[in-house]
Amino acid sequence: MELTVYNKSGEETARKVVLDETVFGIQPNDHAIYLDVKQFMANQRQGTHKSKERSELSGSTRKLKRQKGTGGARSGDIKSPVFVGGARVFGPKPRDYNFKLNKKVKALARKSALSYKAIENNIVVLEDLNFETPSTKNYAGMLNNLNIFDKKTLLVLAEENKSVYLSSRNIKQASIITASKLNTYEILRAKKLLISESCVSKISEILNKEI
């Protein structure tokens, strides 16, 4: 697939970029996408939830009433789970939600997500950006020129650029990521995927190296 390179004014340049078919043109694998997104979301979980069990509660262990003859159910101490303020049975404990996922599956998932964006014509290739000073106004103007200001966008850069990052930080729907940190969740979350011109080949290099 061949895409035209746009400038910050939203105008087409004379340059074109050919997308690697092995990255942007594969048959998407939905299950690989599911696994990669599931792992990404699991990694975001802190896993610090905790409820107290009987041994961790303060309170008397005295039997509240006699075993028989009261007309009610048997009861033990005040820390019993059947009483208000008592312990919880099989409550949550701190745990790690991370799970292993092979590199090839993760690479396949990212390729599948990128291929979906290409199929839907939701990829825009931009000339390399370089703001002299951070300017939210300039970044918002660029999105307006491309008619995508009201859409969720993800700009993929070849390297970190502090000025560009600071320029986009106050725009709610705009996100920025580098090619080395590109993940399936962020790709699918964005409506429009913006890729800097020099980053197209780097994405292909990174993903083909992981196979």
Q: Are residues 106 and 186 in the same domain?
A: yes
Q: Are residues 115 and 183 in the same domain?
A: yes
Q: Are residues 82 and 56 in the same domain?
A: yes
Q: Are residues 154 and 72 in the same domain?
A: no
Q: Are residues 37 and 105 in the same domain?
A: yes
Q: Are residues 82 and 113 in the same domain?
A: no
**Beta partners for 172?**
none
Which tens digit of pLDDT belongs to each residue from 7-54?
888 888 888 889 999 999 999 999 999 999 999 999 999 999 999 998
Using a 10 angstrom Cβ sphere, with 0-12 exposed, 13-18 middle and 19 or more buried, the burial of residue 191 is middle
Q: Are residues 64 and 160 in the same domain?
A: no
Q: Across the chain, what does the average pLDDT equal?
A: 91
DSSP 55: G
CATH code (residue 134) = 3.40.1370.10
pLDDT at position 131, please? Answer: 83
Q: Are residues 134 and 165 in the same domain?
A: yes
Q: Are residues 21 and 80 in the same domain?
A: no
Q: Are residues 141 and 70 in the same domain?
A: no
CB atoms within 10 A of CB 113: 26
At residue 209, does pLDDT exceed 90?
Answer: no
Structural domain including 22 reads 2-46+98-209
Question: Structural domain tally of the chain?
Answer: 2
Q: How far apart are CA 6 and CA 207, in angstroms?
A: 24
- CB–CB of 29/112 below 8 Å? yes
Which tens digit of pLDDT belongs to each residue from 69-83?
999 888 899 999 989
pLDDT at position 10, please? Answer: 83
